[in-house]
Amino acid sequence: MRAKSSFEYAIVRVVPRVERGECINAGVIIHCAAHDYLGARIELDEARLLAVAPDVDLESVCRHLAAIPRVCEGGPDAGPIGLLSRKERFSWLVATRSTMIQTSEVHVGLCDAPDRVLDRLLDKLVRVPRPR
- CA dist 117 and 8 (Å) reads 11
Give the pLDDT confidence score for residue 1 in this predicted structure.
Answer: 54
CA angle 70, 104, 28 (to 5 degrees): 40
φ and ψ at residue 131, rounded to 5 degrees: -65, 145
Per residue of the chain (132 residues), give pLDDT as tens: 568 999 999 999 999 998 888 999 999 999 999 999 999 999 999 999 999 999 999 999 999 999 999 999 999 999 999 999 999 999 999 999 889 999 999 999 999 999 999 999 999 999 988 777
Cβ atoms 86, 74 nearer than 8 A: yes
Residues in CB range of 63: below 8 A, 6 or more apart = none
